[in-house]
Amino acid sequence: MIASRRTARTSRPAPGDGLPSSRWSLPANVTAPLKRAVHATAFWRIAAVVICVVAAYNFSLQTLFQEMSQQTPLAYLGLVPLIALLLAVVLALRRASGPDIHDRYLDYIIGVPLLTLAMGLVIFAPQGLPSVYWLHRLDLLSLPLFVAGAISLAFGVRALVRIRAAVLFLFLAWPYPYVVFLDHELSWFTDTTASAVKAVLQVIPVASVAPDGNFLVSHATGLSQSFTVSVSSACSGINSGLGFLLVGTAATILMRGRLALKVLWLAAGTTFLFAVNVGRILLVLGAGRVWGEHFAIDILHPLIGLAMILGATVVMLIWLPHFQLNLGLGATSAGTTQKAKPATARTLAVRRARIPLALLAVVSLVGMFANAGMSRFELLAFGLGPSRLSPSSVASAPVNGWTLSEVTTYTWATRYFGPNGTWTRYAYIETSAAPDSAPPAAITVDVIGTSDLGTFSTYGLEACYGFHNYSLTATNTVDLGGGLDGKVLRYSIPGTGGYWLGLYWEWPVSIPGGERYQRVVLSVDSSLTSNEPNAQRLVGLARELVRQAAEHAPSTGPANY
């Protein structure tokens, strides 16, 4: 009897994680109500966490979903949060085992720092990195950190470990790595697709190659109805390839099999989609030859692309057994497959979460207002990060009441700002002054370009003036629009009683194959004009310049390729 009592005590479980245990059981009339209560509690708690995440990242998620309607390589990134949510549900239901963690202190030790770091990237980073924050989309980089912290507080570290793959999958929604890769490799991929189509046309001559490299399709009814088709980046297969890699990566998380075989399956699927895309282009060319341009381009082209991508994905799923893989959707871990075990009640590792959910709601409310304020960045950048501006934005942006002319170019800028560093000086002359007024001030505009942002810190404007013995008498920061901050400086000129007044800012600009950074400096010397310069004039000119540069920027850019 003593041994029996000890056995009974040691067999009592620690608080579970919401999954059945085979070590103890309750009568059926008790188990069923407990299961329903736990299911209801878990459902509402999951709903509360999802609502907090959506509220805290409302604008960030909106930019992802808006891009899904565009013909861009990054359009499928909007699927990542939805796929991650589905993965979390499947992993939570499928895996019955996990680390034996039942420590609420550990939940807070992990969850609170993750939330703090995520909110720091959303609230404080835009002020510290205004020129590159939206370019790098650090808000989306913080999204998985916020989700991980929320799960740790609301469900415990044990639940976070169990669905860690779904949380890590959220990092795939960060667009900056894709932009960097596509900037360098997109033209190569497009050229490769076009070359493959040209090679097949030697065997299936449904079109001819024009002198400019495009494809000339002659409608069967006569040459007068010929039209030209070009293989753009959107048609090169990069869109479907990236979409397959996202969906395929989620599928490999659920698959049963060796990691090397999963990678091989992904590589084979990407190659197969490339071949399918070449066939799609040939089919469009052939349809244009038989039925004309309207049917081929306006009707068949948008429909067959999606159909062939879905068909290729289904084929790759059917081929899973050839790679010794299976999705394992019906699989359960050992310990849950024993039919002889009695039914048990499900429990939650964190039985009461009112305080952490209240904390999470407050943090989400703060994050919601900070995230919504990021709409200001859209003036100078596209939704998924790349800058709207080009290296010539300053020179090509007209400013009412001012004329801009180039003064000189300093070739020695490479010594300070890298081998591709540039320095061009312009002059603004006011044209709206009254005829009998004093001569207007000539405002100097220096545009310094570099691919190494760190050189701007090494060779700052303040250090330059200090080197020439100018004394800084006043400084302040002004808002120039589009999330861009400018810094106003006033320096006294030794021995003259005059002063320099300057305003500068730094911003990213897009170029083929990547991005560059520019420092734009507006400055005026009080000794060169009888018209007293002042900071308000410089700030007004700078704001108008920024606004005009944004208005004259292209409506599509690197994100649309």
Residue 560 lies in a domain: no
Distance, in Å, from the CA atom of 416 to the CA atom of 465, rounded to the nearest integer, reads 16
Residue 78 lies in a domain: yes
Instruction: Choose between 140 and 384: higher pLDDT.
Output: 140
pLDDT of residue 449: 93
Whether 400 and 359 map to the same domain: the answer is no
Residue 41 lies in a domain: yes
Whether 241 and 312 map to the same domain: the answer is yes
Distance, in Å, from the CA atom of 543 to the CA atom of 100, rounded to the nearest integer, reads 58
Whether 250 and 338 map to the same domain: the answer is no
Residue 103 lies in a domain: yes
Reply yes or no on whether the pLDDT at 364 is more than 50: yes
Whether 374 and 469 map to the same domain: the answer is no
* HEC letters along 71-93: CCCCHHHHHHHHHHHHHHHHHHH
Strands across the sheet with 208-209, in order? 208-209, 215-217, 227-229
Whether 508 and 546 map to the same domain: the answer is yes
Q: Give the model's confidence band at 441: pLDDT under 50 very low, under 70 low, under 90 confident, else very high.
A: low
- Close Cβ partners of 45 (under 8 Å, ≥ 6 residues apart): 154, 155, 353, 357
Residue 5 lies in a domain: no
Longest dimension (CA), the chain: 113
pLDDT of residue 333: 44
Token digits of residue 407: 């003064």
**Element holding 263 (H helix, E strand):** helix 259-291
Domain endpoint, select from 323, 351, 371: 323
Distance, in Å, from the CA atom of 500 to the CA atom of 489, rounded to the nearest integer, reads 8
Q: What is the mean pLDDT of residues 194-210?
A: 89
- Close Cβ partners of 393 (under 8 Å, ≥ 6 residues apart): 509, 549, 552, 553
Whether 191 and 300 map to the same domain: the answer is yes
- Which of 207, 249, 255, 202 lies closest to 228, judged by CA? 207
For residue range 271-289, list pLDDT tens digits in order.
998 888 888 888 888 888 8
Whether 187 and 168 map to the same domain: the answer is no
For residue range 371-400, list pLDDT tens digits in order.
999 888 888 888 887 888 989 999 988 888
Assess contact for 298 and 287: CB atoms under 8 A: no
Whether 314 and 332 map to the same domain: the answer is no
Domain endpoint, select from 301, 323, 345: 323
Residue 89 lies in a domain: yes
- Which of 455, 459, 523, 460 lies closest to 489, judged by CA? 523
| Residue 106 one-letter amino acid | L
Assess contact for 100 and 346: CB atoms under 8 A: no
Where in the sequence is the domain holding 159, given as residue range(s)? Answer: 11-174+328-379
For residue range 3-49, list pLDDT tens digits in order.
444 444 444 444 444 444 434 444 554 445 545 555 677 888 899 99
Whether 338 and 467 map to the same domain: the answer is no
Whether 280 and 363 map to the same domain: the answer is no
- Close Cβ partners of 62 (under 8 Å, ≥ 6 residues apart): none
Distance, in Å, from the CA atom of 227 to the CA atom of 289, rounded to the nearest integer, reads 9
Strands across the sheet with 499-511, in order? 402-409, 422-430, 442-450, 514-525, 499-511, 484-492, 471-481
Whether 80 and 159 map to the same domain: the answer is yes
Residue 401 lies in a domain: yes
Whether 45 and 130 map to the same domain: the answer is yes
| Count of structural domains within the chain | 3
Residue 436 lies in a domain: yes
- Which of 411, 422, 479, 477 lies closest to 455, judged by CA? 422
Domain endpoint, select from 306, 323, 340: 323
For residue range 498-531, list pLDDT tens digits in order.
778 889 999 999 887 678 899 999 988 766 554 5
